A and B are shown apart, each in its own frame.
Chain A
Amino acid sequence: MRRSRNSPAIEIALNRAVPLGLLFMLALSSCGANLPQVPNQEQPSPQEMPDQVPSDIPQKKPIVEIPSLTPPSEQGGINTSFIRDKVTEGNGNWPFVPLDNPEFVTADQATYIGALDLVLGVSLYGESKAYPINMMWFHHVANDTIGGHPIAVTY
């Protein structure tokens, strides 16, 4: 049912040589994605795991260098934005990379989405936008607008 373009992209990420610098540890989405797991070296904690939870731990540790992101502009002063490094996974170890002022394409240009791929959809103020969850899984937050109104799209 689902297209299997899962592996190639992430494999590239996993195998890429990483220079010293900004490292980002990929943690599992709080939204329940089926993704590579990261065993945390610093604070082992498997004792408290509930029984039902699968414990398959992958062989590779996903580490990539994250390009620097332009900080969200403070212009306007009244809009709240989720700011990079301030929004983190559950225990605070992994900063999210919010998507600020994202770019959009029309539906017929979106050849990278399959019919059954999941999206988050917003239709308000006369405008409709779709946010593929394979992207939102990574960013968790998009600081965007809909029909001219500022919104934070979260996953």
Chain B
Amino acid sequence: MELLPLQLTSWEKWLELHPDTLVLSNDTPYQEWYTNISLGSSSLGPEFVASIVYWDTRLTHNRLVLGVTVDQAFRAYPLDRVAASGGVVNDILADRPVVVVVDDQSVFSIAFSREINGQVLNFERTGADSLQLVDKETGSIWNLEGLAIDGPLEGESLSFVTSFITEWYGWSAYHPETEIYAIANP
């Protein structure tokens, strides 16, 4: 099956990006099961843990990471490290230039290809608006969903790179060979 971008984020952030969004109705026969979830603070049951065939202790099990896949290369970007890098990481994975972004609240994170029309871009945050990036090459302004909203490249879209927020234990269990992003100049 083809993988499509599925964004894990806060309701207010999603609504800000997509004011016209529909929402799953909670009027189902299972409503009483719907209970609040908090990421990054999970306590795992022994039975569940026993079912995990690979346990990687390089990071704490519930560390939130953006798991990024390019071809058969896997790299985990701890959200706090991306935030510490200014919220934007211009990186190369499997020889492909990628950019990883996270918002100020670390509730929105995604990866894109940095290559567009044969040109490789380098991004940084605009600073004023946490939802916007600027590329150094053209000065175009981009939103966090990879759409150029102003400047010479207005209307262009960055290609989504398979990526999603997950807890470390899940990512590393599926991808034992994963690399972990380390801040180059902390």
CB pair B46–A46 under 8 Å, yes or no, is yes
A28-B170 Cα distance, complex, nearest whole Å: 13
Question: Contacting A56 at CB < 8 Å: which of B11, B22, B43, B107?
Answer: B43
A34-B21 Cα distance, complex, nearest whole Å: 27
Binds A, one of B2-10, B119-127, B133-141: B2-10
Q: Which residues on the B side are within 8 Å of A114 (C-beta)? A: 11
Query: Given A28-B44, A118-B9, A122-B7, do A135 and B24 touch, yes or no (CB 8 Å)?
Result: yes
Q: Which residues on the A side are within 8 Å of B38 (C-beta)? A: 2, 33-34
Min CB gap A85→B, angstroms: 15
Residue of B nearest to A50 (CB): B55
B39-65, CB under 8 A of A: which get 1 and which 0?
Answer: 111111111111110010100111000
Residue of A nearest to B14 (CB): A121
Q: Which residues on the B side are within 8 Å of A115 (C-beta)? A: 10-12
Query: Given A9-B32, A34-B43, do A27 and B48 touch, yes or no (CB 8 Å)?
Result: yes
Number of interface residues of A (CB under 8 A): 83
Asked if B1 is at the interface (CB within 8 A of a chain A CB), the reply is yes
A122-155, CB under 8 A of B: which get 1 and which 0?
Answer: 1110011111111101110010000000011110
Asked if B20 is at the interface (CB within 8 A of a chain A CB), the reply is yes
Asked if B17 is at the interface (CB within 8 A of a chain A CB), the reply is yes
Question: Contacting B26 at CB < 8 Å: which of A54, A124, A132, A142?
Answer: A132
Q: Which residues on the A side are within 8 Å of B170 (C-beta)? A: 30-32
Query: Given A28-B45, A38-B45, A50-B55, do A107 and B26 touch, yes or no (CB 8 Å)?
Result: no
Min CB gap B116→A, angstroms: 20
A89-B45 Cα distance, complex, nearest whole Å: 13
Query: Given A28-B45, A89-B51, do A102 and B33 touch, yes or no (CB 8 Å)?
Result: no
CB pair A130–B24 under 8 Å, yes or no, is yes
A79-92, CB under 8 A of B: which get 1 and which 0?
Answer: 01000000001110
CB pair B107–A118 under 8 Å, yes or no, is yes
What are some 19 contacts across the A-B interface (CB < 8 A)? A28-B42, A29-B37, A32-B42, A33-B38, A33-B42, A37-B48, A46-B46, A53-B43, A69-B29, A99-B24, A103-B27, A118-B8, A127-B22, A129-B21, A129-B23, A134-B36, A135-B24, A138-B33, A138-B34
